[in-house]
Amino acid sequence: MVLLALPGVVLSSALVAGKAGSGPPWHAARVDLTLADRTAAAFFDAIGVLAAASPTGFAESGAHGTELLVSGAPMAGLNGVFTRARSADPAELARLAARLPATGLPWSIQVRGEAEPAVVALGEKYELHPSREVPLMIATEVEARPKATGVTVRRVTSAEQRLYAGTLAAGFGAPREPFDTLMSGPVLDAPGATAYLAEAAGEPVATAYSLRTGPFAGIFNIAVPPAHRGQGYGRLITEVAVREAFAAGVTVAYLQPSKMGLALYRSMGFTTIEHWTYLQA
C-alpha cells in the first residue's frame, strides 16, 4: 500500500495506530503532525543514535527543535546543528553552533526548506554558506525488478568492520580513515541498525546501512565502487535493506539521495516530500 507522499499532508492514522504513550519521540500518536515532520524527526533520532554509538560522537537537543549532533567523522554533513522544526530558532542555533569550532571538525548548519536570513547570517559568521539542497525521500513499498545475477547480499557486524568500511570508502572514492570513524564497530552494532554487504564472485561490490527508529527506517551508505557500477548492485542492496526493514515492522523508509542516485530511488518508488538546505564551508 502506498501511503501519503506529499509535504503538508496529515499522517494517516493507520501509521500511528498503537504508538501512543511515553517514550521516544516516534511513539507519540500525534496525528496533527505531517508525514514530513515525522520523517524529519525520525531522521534526527537516527543520527542521534549514531552519535551516541560513536566513540567520538555526542549530541544535545535544544528546547525549540534544534539538534547539536557530532559523529566525530571529519565530514561536514555529519557534524553540526540541525533543525527538526520547519522554522529554525536562530538564537538556539547560535548557542549550539558556538560549541562546534572547538571540536576541530568540519561542520554544517542544516535547515528544512530554504535558509532564512538570520540563519544565513549565522553561517557567514563561521564562513559557512548555503552550498547544497538535498531532497528528503520516502517509500512505503519498493518496486521489484529482476535481480542482479551472481550476487549475494548479507548482513555484517563489527567483526567485519574493516571490510565494510573499506568497501564504503571505495564506493565514495574517498580515503577509508573517515569511514572507519563513521562506521566503527559500535555503530555497526547499534540498536536497530543493520549493515549490508553485497558480494559477487567473492568480491565486495556494494554497501548499505539501515537504522530503525519506531515505524521508520533510514537507509544510508548506499555505495558501489566505480568498477562495479552499472550492474544493478546498488538497487539490489537498497531493495534488500528496505524490504527487511518493512518485514521488521517499519512502515516508512526514508533517505537523502545524491544527485547520481536520485533517478534510481525514484524508479524504486521513493518520492520527495521536502528539501533541506545545508550551509557548509
Mean pLDDT of 266-281: 96
Q: What is the CATH number of the domain that holds 227?
A: 3.40.630.30
Residue pair 79/105 in contact by the 8 Å Cβ criterion: yes
* pLDDT tens, position by position, 6-64: 222 222 222 322 333 333 333 333 333 699 999 999 999 998 899 899 998 999 999 99
191 and 234 housed in the same domain: yes
**What is residue 144's predicted lDDT score, i.e. its pLDDT?**
77
Structurally, the chain folds into a number of domains equal to: 2
Mean pLDDT of 191-220: 97
69 and 169 housed in the same domain: no
Last residue of a domain, one of 115, 137, 159: 137
Q: Which structural domain range is residue 181 located in? A: 151-271
* pLDDT tens, position by position, 89-144: 999 999 999 999 999 999 999 999 999 999 999 999 999 999 989 999 999 998 87
167 and 112 housed in the same domain: no
The answer to whether position 6 is within a domain reads no
130 and 167 housed in the same domain: no
126 and 188 housed in the same domain: no
Spell out a b/e string for 28-62, using b for 16 or more CB atoms within 10 Å of the CB, else e: beeeebbbbbbbbbbbbbbbbbbbebbeebebebb
* pLDDT tens, position by position, 240-254: 999 999 999 999 999
The answer to whether position 1 is within a domain reads no
- How many secondary structure helices (H) and strands (E) does the chain include? 9, 11
* pLDDT tens, position by position, 150-185: 999 999 999 999 999 999 999 999 999 999 999 999
